[in-house]
């Protein structure tokens, strides 16, 4: 009879869109990967009792609570998974780490640089036996992970330029209702933190270089929106609708970034293009299973971007899934995230990205905001 695996009891704090995605990850990961520990979906936490109970039944959580502090206090909870709005990340994560719980926290790490610094310090102080990871899930898309392998192996040579954009259009209609994502006190920032954080992290992950300086602009196009359930009343939008910035990397590359929820016609296009001295790669989340590759060392007659279908068992994460050519989808990144987290906890090593990595991304976002506020940095042309 095989040895019984140690249980890893999970408490998920929050149960919205990300709650569904994380639940899928915890549920599916041990059924496709041979994990060293068995994650158990023990406790789901939400503010509304009826809502959290319905979500727990739908997704397969054993128990519910309306107070996240119960998850911290329970001796049988091993992992606290945080998918709440950003304004509560710091309080929950710091308390969980102090209680000796492993923590997985959705991005961005926090709403402010000060909160991010405190969370990184709490993770450092928790010691090597307590693991903390930030949920930049797009690192775990097989095509993005393969792009990192190509760059790190020197296949495209010296990285010179990065073009990264995250384009959505769900706010292009000025009558779309006000949500917590449009309120600074809850979300911290708008498209910059929600989408731009992904573009920053993925560009740094793929290139292996860190952004050291940025210059940017922020814009809010619609300043008031209808209140949900009371369309005749309007509330203030206190975050950005769009962000653009340039940056310099510590390895010598330069980059240009765009994050917007006003890109009419673009539903979820996270696109990264990396240009090197010997070639280039391009990735678009809307073409989840493929990677563009250009080999500048090939004969002129054979040059041109080729489309690599990233579904071979030798590609990152793919050996556990379907036969070659059978595509994966959005939810699989969360399965890979759960896999990597459980393996790191079992091995007692720091998972990536760490809270320190998240703190660094927050410094970039803060730099963009400070730059955008500095009108004197503009070179006037009219």
**CATH of residue 71:** 3.40.50.720
Of the residues 138, 159, 174, which one is the last residue of a structural domain? 138
- Residue 212 in any domain: the answer is yes
As for how many domains the chain has, the answer is 2
pLDDT at 190 over 50: yes
User: CA dihedral in degrees (155, 157, 163, 168; nearest 10)?
Assistant: 10
pLDDT at 380 over 80: no
Q: How far apart are CA 72 and CA 78, in angstroms?
A: 9
Of the residues 107, 138, 169, which one is the last residue of a structural domain? 138
User: Which pLDDT score, from 0 to 100, does residue 4 have?
Assistant: 80
The CA angle 83-110-42, to the nearest 5 degrees, is: 25
Same-domain status, 276 and 320: yes
- 171 within 8 A of 222, measured Cβ to Cβ: yes
- 1 pLDDT tier (thresholds 50, 70, 90): very low
User: Which pLDDT score, from 0 to 100, does residue 229 have?
Assistant: 82
Q: Residue range 246-265: average pLDDT? A: 98
User: Which pLDDT score, from 0 to 100, does residue 304 have?
Assistant: 96
Of the residues 138, 159, 188, which one is the last residue of a structural domain? 138
Q: What is the pLDDT of residues 15-50, one digit of tens each?
A: 999 999 999 999 999 999 999 999 999 999 999 999
Same-domain status, 166 and 232: yes
How far CA 274 is from CA of 138, 201, 283, in Å, comes to: 16, 14, 9
User: CA dihedral in degrees (93, 96, 100, 103; nearest 10)?
Assistant: -50
Phi then psi for residue 324, to 5 deg, are -45, 135
* Tokens (6 digits) for 56: 């727990």
pLDDT at 375 over 80: no
* Tokens (6 digits) for 296: 């500048």
- Residue 32 in any domain: the answer is yes
Same-domain status, 187 and 314: yes
Q: What is the pLDDT of residues 94-115, one digit of tens each?
A: 999 999 999 999 999 999 999 9
Place of tokens 């994560």: 93
Q: How far apart are CA 313 and CA 333, in angstroms?
A: 16
Same-domain status, 112 and 177: no
- Residue 53 in any domain: the answer is yes
Identify the domain containing residue 169 by its residue range. 142-287+289-328+363-370
Q: Residue range 314-328: average pLDDT? A: 97
Q: pTM here?
A: 0.95
Q: What is the CATH number of the domain that holds 217?
A: 3.30.360.10
Q: Percentage of the chain with pLDDT > 90?
A: 95
Distance of CA 253 to the CA centre of its chain: 23
- Residue 100 in any domain: the answer is yes
- Residue 173 in any domain: the answer is yes
Same-domain status, 72 and 182: no
Same-domain status, 235 and 186: yes
Same-domain status, 186 and 310: yes
């Amino acid at each position: 009879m095989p040895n019984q695996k140690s249980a890893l009891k999970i408490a998920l704090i929050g149960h919205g869109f990300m709650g569904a995605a994380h639940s899928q990850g915890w549920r599916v990961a041990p059924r496709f990967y041979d994990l060293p520990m068995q994650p158990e979906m023990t406790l789901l936490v939400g503010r509304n009792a009826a809502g959290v109970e319905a979500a727990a039944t739908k997704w397969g959580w054993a128990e519910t609570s309306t107070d996240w502090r119960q998850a911290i206090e329970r001796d049988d909870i091993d992992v606290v998974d945080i998918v709440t709005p950003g304004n509560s990340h710091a309080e929950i994560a710091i308390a969980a780490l102090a209680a000796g719980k492993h923590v997985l926290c959705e991005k961005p790490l926090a709403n402010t640089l000060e909160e991010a610094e405190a969370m990184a310090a709490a993770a450092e102080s928790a010691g090597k036996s307590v693991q903390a990871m930030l949920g930049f899930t797009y690192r775990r898309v097989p095509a993005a992970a393969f792009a990192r392998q190509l760059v790190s192996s020197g296949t495209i040579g010296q990285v010179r330029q990065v073009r990264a954009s995250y384009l959505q259009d769900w706010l292009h209609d000025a009558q779309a209702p006000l949500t917590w994502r449009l309120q600074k006190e809850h979300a911290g920032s708008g498209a910059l933190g929600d989408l731009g954080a992904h573009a920053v992290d993925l560009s740094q992950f793929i290139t292996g270089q860190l952004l050291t300086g940025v210059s940017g602009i922020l814009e809010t196009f619609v300043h008031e929106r209808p209140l949900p359930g009371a369309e005749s009343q309007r509330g203030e939008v206190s975050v950005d609708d769009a962000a653009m910035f340039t940056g310099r990397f510590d390895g010598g590359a330069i980059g240009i970034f765009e994050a917007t929820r006003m890109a009419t016609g673009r539903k979820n296009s996270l696109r990264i293009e990396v240009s090197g001295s010997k070639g280039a790669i391009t990735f678009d989340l809307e073409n989840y299973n493929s990677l563009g590759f250009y080999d500048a060392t090939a004969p002129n007659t054979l040059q041109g971007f080729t489309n690599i279908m990233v579904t071979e068992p030798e590609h990152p994460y793919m050996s556990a899934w379907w036969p070659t050519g059978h595509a994966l989808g959005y939810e699989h990144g969360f399965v890979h995230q759960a896999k990597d987290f459980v393996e790191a906890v079992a091995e007692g090593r720091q998972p990536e990205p760490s809270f320190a990595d998240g703190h660094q991304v927050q410094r970039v976002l803060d730099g963009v905001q400070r730059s955008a506020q500095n009108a004197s940095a503009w070179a006037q042309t009219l």
